[in-house]
Amino acid sequence: MTTFQQRLEQYAALAVEVGVNVQHGQQLCIISPISAAPLVREAAKHAYKLGAKYVHVDWSDDEVARARAELSSEDGLSHYPEWHAKGRVEMAEAGAAFLRISSENPDLLKGIDADRISRMTKAQQNALQPFRRFTLGNQVAWSIVACPNELWASKVFPELPEAERVDALWNAIFAATRVDDPTPVDTWKRHADTLGAKAKRLNERRYKELRYRAPGTDLTIGLTDGHLWTSAGARNAAGNVFIPNMPTEEVFTTPHRERVNGTVSSSKPLSYNGKLIDGFSFTFKDGRIVDYKADQAYDALKQLVETDDGSHYLGEIALVPHRSPISDTNLIFYNTLFDENAACHLAIGFGFPFCLEGGLEMDKDELAQRGVNHSLTHVDFMIGRADLEIDGITADGAVEPIFRAGNWAIE
């Protein structure tokens, strides 16, 4: 019988070997909360076994983050250390890989004034913009994996005895990331090929726009000329393949920022900046959000939409079948890494240059002229459900089914 320690080691190996695909002589930066220390240690060990030159760990702590949001001066909230942002850029320029471990407490900042959270978030987003160019352009290998903590596990499994919750969440994460498969590395390669085939099919069709229909959703999204659908695997500047999200079930592209019209309703809660937004919807006109509503945490939704001008527009559309290993758990993970891979989703904020032909060679102004959105933020929200229908509209006006009853209608 496979022990928990063996599964943890396999999970860490997948993150390092498949997720960021660490190369001999390469540096690895692991960005992690201190609660994920056991996973970080295993990831570092495996990276060194693969020949990593150096593993740097960038630690954070939820309680310290809460203390800052609650108690810092106004001036302190707007501060982000320049040396920290420059350090990320220096590592990226040296070709380092970046592994982020997500271990969210969905209610971390509950009760904190939204304006204080906004100040803190914007300071970080502004400071890290130079580093983000490396990840947005896939110049470096990067990946995100998850690690349970007690508060997160209690949110997902409130019905279980307290002592069983973290183990239950670990089991769900291991299942979603295919850790328990006899040959998980080979399984991931086959999975990536399957998603790649869907992306290839969509790229062949060259749809002009997509139409979404479901209760509470009637939305048309125009696509950029020369848009590219992509999936699990990406390739960095050195030519090495990496997988940005583990797990992943999506095929995605960047829409034209000014060609979105209609209304879309959420299908799952959104954990954003320590608050849980639920029962929300957006109305778009010529790409811009002109109205938004929420049954819960409206202030956090407002904070998101009002981040900057670009946060009033979409930067990503992603197609995810209703039936998937994550969706079939019937769990709400309260963590975007998992919930976005259980349902079709959209993202407010910046678009991806690599989702446009020649986009990686364009500057910000050129991308904007082609319809790629620019923003400080990028936040996914889930809209997929069992009765969602999506049609693709070709340049000559033909209507073709892409999703029916929440699942793929194309081979």
- Residue 326 near residue 176 (C-beta atoms within 8 A): yes
Q: What are the residue ranges of helices labelled H in 177-242?
A: 184-205
| Type of residue numbered 42 | E
- Same domain, yes or no, for 129 and 214? no
Q: Looking at residue 1, what is its pLDDT?
A: 57
- Same domain, yes or no, for 148 and 219? no
Measured distance CA(370)–CA(380) in Å, rounded: 22
Measured distance CA(96)–CA(99) in Å, rounded: 10
Is 240 part of a structural domain of the chain? Answer: no
Domain end residue (candidates: 176, 197, 218): 176
Q: Which two tokens stand for residue 104?
A: 């969210």
Which tens digits make up the pLDDT trace of 229-253? 999 888 999 999 999 999 999 999 9
Measured distance CA(149)–CA(156) in Å, rounded: 11
Which parts of 188-306 are beta strand (E)?
A: 209-214, 217-223, 234-235, 241-242, 251-253, 255-265, 270-272, 275-285, 288-296
Is 191 part of a structural domain of the chain? Answer: no
Measured distance CA(192)–CA(24) in Å, rounded: 23
- Same domain, yes or no, for 114 and 14? yes
Number of domains in the chain: 2
List strands edge to edge, sheet with 54-60: 54-60, 27-33, 97-102, 142-146
| Type of residue numbered 56 | H
- Same domain, yes or no, for 267 and 402? yes
How are beta strands 97-102 and 27-33 bridged, if at all? parallel
Q: Looking at residue 233, what is its pLDDT?
A: 86
- Same domain, yes or no, for 46 and 154? yes
In sequence order, the 6+-apart residues with CB closer than 8 A to the CB of 288 are 258, 312, 313
> Among 195, 190, 172, which residue's Cα sits nearest to residue 325?
172
Is 355 part of a structural domain of the chain? Answer: yes
Is 399 part of a structural domain of the chain? Answer: yes
Please give the backbone phi and psi of residue 117, each rounded to the nearest 5 degrees, phi first.
-65, -40
Tell me the three-class secondary structure of 135-195, residue by residue.
Answer: HHCCCCCEEEEECCCHHHHHHHCCCCCHHHHHHHHHHHHHHHCCCCCCCHHHHHHHHHHHH
Please give the backbone phi and psi of residue 158, each rounded to the nearest 5 degrees, phi first.
-65, -20
Torsion of the alpha carbons at 186, 192, 198 and 201, rounded to the nearest 10: -90
Q: What is the span of the domain harbouring residue 368?
A: 206-228+249-408
In sequence order, the 6+-apart residues with CB closer than 8 A to the CB of 83 are none
- Same domain, yes or no, for 128 and 212? no
Please give the backbone phi and psi of residue 73, each rounded to the nearest 5 degrees, phi first.
-65, 165
Is 19 part of a structural domain of the chain? Answer: yes
- Same domain, yes or no, for 156 and 217? no
Q: Looking at residue 328, what is its pLDDT?
A: 82
Please give the backbone phi and psi of residue 39, each rounded to the nearest 5 degrees, phi first.
-70, -40
- Same domain, yes or no, for 23 and 103? yes
Count how many Cα atoms sit within 13 Å of the Cα of residue 117 in the half-sphere of its side chain: 20
- Same domain, yes or no, for 139 and 282? no
Is 325 part of a structural domain of the chain? Answer: yes
Specify the CATH number for the domain of residue 82: 3.40.1830.10
Is 239 part of a structural domain of the chain? Answer: no
- Same domain, yes or no, for 343 and 390? yes
Measured distance CA(166)–CA(149) in Å, rounded: 7
Q: Coil, strand or helix: which one is 116?
A: helix
- Same domain, yes or no, for 285 and 387? yes
- Same domain, yes or no, for 39 and 167? yes
Q: Measured between alpha carbons, how far is residue 49 from residues 16, 41, 52, 53 in Å? A: 10, 12, 7, 10
Which residues of the chain are under the pLDDT cut of 70? 1
Is 61 part of a structural domain of the chain? Answer: yes
Q: Looking at residue 355, what is its pLDDT?
A: 96
In sequence order, the 6+-apart residues with CB closer than 8 A to the CB of 104 are 152, 271, 334, 335
